[in-house]
Amino acid sequence: MALSWSHSVLYVKDAGQMVDFYTDVLGFEVTDRGPLGAAEGPEIVFMSQDPDEHHQIAMITTRKDESASNSVNHFAFRIPSFEELRTLMAKLEPLDAIKVAPISHGNTLSIYFNDPEGNGLEVFWDTPWHVAQPQGKPWDPSLSDDALLNWVQENFQAESTFGPRDEYYDARRAAAE
């Protein structure tokens, strides 16, 4: 059986604030919304960035507690270019209560942050390399793209598993055949 990831559903308190964050900051589109079950049921909001997926995230307005979520560490999203990662960082920077932590795993340049209700998020760009995990070192967003890629290579190349990303995935695909 081969599973393919489809979506996640979050319990939220303030659907308006959360929908604004996920649409305005992260670029999701509301694809549907309405009461869950009976007409008086809690609202569910469906959102997606993928035109081939009805929803990648849904939110149900049934969250009761004020504390940050404690049953999921974070949700991670791949971004196609490092420029887009920088753009997202600039959008997050002025938002109160959103804390951004840039971390490199060697195979990614990631930013970790929270949404308005404290759910953990990671948005990352793949580097050209693979390195066994777990790894994690803070990176400096003020570095140029070239300087940052050099920094990643210098900081992770001593690992015995460090190598070209394509070779790692080619070997995995070959082993699966």
Q: Specify the pTM.
A: 0.84
Distances (CA, A) of 1 to 8, 103, 170, 172: 20, 33, 21, 17
**pLDDT of 70-81, one tens digit each?**
667 789 999 999
Q: Count how many residues are written for the chain.
A: 177
User: Which of 56, 62, 73 is CA-nearest to residue 22?
Assistant: 56
* CATH of 74-177 given 3.10.180, 3.30.519, 1.20.59, 1.10.1060: 3.10.180
Radius of gyration of the chain (CA): 19
Q: Where are the domains of the chain?
A: 1-63, 74-177
User: What integer is the mean pLDDT of 98-114?
Assistant: 95
Strand partners, 76: 122
Q: Is 50 exceeded by the pLDDT of residue 5?
A: yes
* Fold match, 1-63 / 74-177: yes
**pLDDT of 36-95, one tens digit each?**
877 778 888 999 999 888 899 999 888 887 776 666 778 999 999 999 999 999 999 999
State the CATH architecture for 1-63.
Roll (3.10)
